[in-house]
A and B are shown apart, each in its own frame.
Chain A
Amino acid sequence: AQSVTQPDIHITVSEGASLELRCNYSYGATPYLFWYVQSPGQGLQLLLKYFSGDTLVQGIKGFEAEFKRSQSSFNLRKPSVHWSDAAEYFCAVCGNTGNQFYFGTGTSLTVIP
């Protein structure tokens, strides 16, 4: 069965520091992987996605993620965090039928000055 694990419930980083949010997935075939961000009162906004090709994917707002099949991971990174990056981050994998997403529990990011 498909599933996504985000091991870190909450992360706090200083503004300007680097960030890595972890995501591990379980999927029987080639996965389609996504990172979404949710700011308070807002919907889920797509940061980036991986379908095939280059395993290092660039997204919006300076985020990137690397697909590592051997580790079943799709970790999200940003070299220098801004205060506006404080939000909830969700990793998701697309299901067999291509219809539904399986989400992780999310990682809440706090950015301190």
Chain B
Amino acid sequence: EPEVTQTPSHQVTQMGQEVILRCVPISNHLYFYWYRQILGQKVEFLVSFYNNEISEKSEIFDDQFSVERPDGSNFTLKIRSTKLEDSAMYFCASTPRMTRVGNEQFFGPGTRLTVL
């Protein structure tokens, strides 16, 4: 069964460094998402991406964040200058059509980011 994959599973970085989290969505899916979950808190929406552009983003997704689909298969989340509070589990998700028309989002296993 097709699945969303994410690499790395765990990333440790120093504060102020740039990190890139990678995701490979399911191949025929058109909508892509990033969520994060700070330890002990709820899963929070960051951004959705469709047709090579951001379709929606949350307040969390500030200028330090960016997303890209560089090659038609990967979907990346870049944090330009990491802060301690960026430490979290980051989930990628994809869906073939908009969720509202009846499709669940398919989630990857997550990347745990630790900022020291």
Contact = CB atoms under 8 A, between A and B. Distances in A.
B107 A99 contact: no
Highest count of chain A CB atoms <10 Å: which of B102, B106, B107: B107
B81 interface: no
Contacts of A94: 99-100
A103 B109 contact: no
Nearest to B41: A105
B4 A49 contact: no
Contacts of A92: 43
A62 B49 CA distance: 34
Which of under 10, 10 to 19, 20 to 34, or 35 or more describes the interface residues of A?
20 to 34
A95 B45 CA distance: 10
Contacts of B33: 99-100
A43 B108 contact: yes
Contacts of B102: 32, 51
A49 B104 contact: yes
A101 interface: yes
B98 A34 contact: no
B35 to A, nearest CB: 7
Nearest to A46: B104
Contacts of B75: none
Contact of B42 (A45, A46, A95, A106): A106
Given A43-B108, A105-B42, A97 B56 contact: yes
B58 A44 contact: no
Contacts of A103: 35, 42-44
A63 B3 CA distance: 22
A34 B3 CA distance: 18
Contact of A104 (B6, B42, B55): B42
Interface string B19-54: 000000000000101010000011111001000000
Interface of B: 3-4, 6, 31, 33, 35, 41-45, 48, 55-56, 58, 91, 93, 98-102, 104-110
5 contacts: A4-B42, A43-B109, A44-B91, A45-B107, A100-B33
